[in-house]
Amino acid sequence: QATLRDAADAQEFTIGAALDPNALRVDPSYWKTVAENFNAVTPENALKMTRLRPSRHTYDFKNADAIVNFGVENDMYVRGHTLVWHNQKPEWFQAWDYTDEQLRTFLRDHIHTVAGRYRAKIDAWDVVNEAVDDDGSMRRTVWSDGLGEDYIADAFRWADEVTDADLFYNDYGADEINEKSDAIYDLVEGLLEDDVPIDGVGLQLHALGDWPDPESIAENIQRFQDLGLEVHITEMDVAFHDGEEPENPLEEQAEYYRDVVETCLDVGCDNLVTWGVHDGSSWIRGFKDFGQRYTGDPLLFDGRYGEKPAYDAVKEGLEEY
Ligand code: G3I
């Protein structure tokens, strides 16, 4: 019986999942499911600054190494997530009274050390994550406040100094053509004009309740590709607003997954990561925004590692294309 991974390999498609290092260590079913069904991995949290930096001058790579090495040992495409983000800064950082120069040195050293460590192992990096706000303005963060908007270009240059990985800008809510993806388009076009070493754009595709329209996704991917950039789907999951599930939620979800995979194949986007392995581990369980909850069954496997209709849909989408 061919697995999802077999179908992806045959189509030269990269299909990945975001991983939790603890599950990888303690749960053989988790390990086996990932190894059999995916040809790509990314740490869901283990490469974030909070997890890597117990203090200003130290690093703890144990969990990140576990995932990256698992990927390398299993011949997988490894995505690094993420070097620069406004969210997920360590606790000690909040109390640190830095000068702008110290902040700059800190970020540069962080990027050099982390991207450099995985030079031969990580294939793509989400260098900068979520720097654009939902209305399309640049997000004000500790990085933009301390370093100015140039921190984005600098981050890509610093990463480029120590790794051969493809370097991505990654964001959510910019899957379709909209104000936010327009702003990201302008941002990356500007970076390219300034010869900043950027290779691609990651569209997260968290389809929460309102699912981005595949036709508009295709148009969006196309315009980034026309700039000479690669586009990857980096964090896909598909959920319903709580209380608004249709009669056949799993089938509708499966259809959407299939539409997105076909859309990708149509436009030549060959890399898609789901944000987790099984429904029991999805971040959406604990997530509320503006009081809104979502059903926590957004992935390809159910909580017992059963293959869901969405799994079959992605696999068939790849096999039948
Ligand atoms: O591990 C601790 C646990 O020990 C503790 O008891 C518990 C109490 O809050 O927290 C646990 O850590 C949480 C962690 O998820 C593991 O579940 C953190 O508080 C929580 O902040 C963290 O959330 C992650 C979130 O990013 C923030 O980093 C989610 O797992 C992760 O899925 C989510 O991923 C983001 C992408 O990086 C960027 N795009 C959006 C995406 C979804 O929000």
pTM, two decimals, is 0.97
Digit-coded pLDDT (tens) for 75-130: 999 999 999 999 988 999 999 999 999 999 999 999 999 999 999 999 999 999 99
Residue 286 pLDDT exceeds 90? no
Please report, for residues 45, 108, 138, 201, 233, the alpha-carbon distance to residue 187 in angstroms, rounded to integers and kept in the order given.
Answer: 26, 21, 9, 11, 19
CB 286 within 8 A of CB 239: no
Tell whether ligand 1 has an atom less than 6 A from the beta carbon of residue 123.
no
Compute the distance between CA of residue 139 and CA of residue 184 in angstroms, rounded to an integer: 12
- Please state the atom number of ligand 1 nearest to the C-alpha of residue 81: 37
100 is written with which tokens? 């702008």
pLDDT, one tens digit per residue, over 246-270 is 999 999 999 999 999 999 999 999 9
- Catalytic-labelled residue, pool 73, 101, 130, 255: 130
The residue nearest atom 36 of ligand 1, judged by CA position, is 44
What's the pLDDT score for residue 88? 82
Which residues have CB under 8 Å from 281's CB, separation 6+? 20, 23
Q: From the CA of 158, how far away is ligand 1's center (Å)?
A: 26
Residue partners of 10: CB distance under 8 A and separation at least 6: 318, 319
* Helices 249-267, 214-226: crossing angle, 10 deg rounding: 30
- Would you call 244 a catalytic residue per the annotation? no
Cα 194 to Cα 186: distance, rounded to the nearest angstrom: 12
Instruction: Judge if the beta carbon of residue 93 lies within 6 A of ligand 1.
Output: no
Confirm or reject: Cβ of 61 under 6 Å from ligand 1: no
Quote the mean pLDDT of the chain. Answer: 97
Q: Which residues contact 210 (CB under 8 A, 6 or more apart)?
A: none
Share of the chain above pLDDT 70, in %: 100
Expressed in angstroms and rounded, the spacing between residue 45 Cα and the centre of ligand 1 is 7
Tokens representing residue 16 in the block: 């990945």
Question: Could you confirm whether 255 is annotated as catalytic?
Answer: no
Q: How high is the ipTM of this complex?
A: 0.94
Residue 283 DSSP one-character state = G
Of how many residues is the chain composed?
Answer: 321
Pairing of strands 14-19, 206-208: unpaired
Q: Give yes or no for residue 290 having a pLDDT over 80.
A: no
Beta strands in 172-264 (DSSP E): 200-203, 206-208, 230-239
What pLDDT is recorded for position 237?
Answer: 98
CATH code of 4-320, in short, is 3.20.20.80
DSSP 8-state class, residue 12 = T
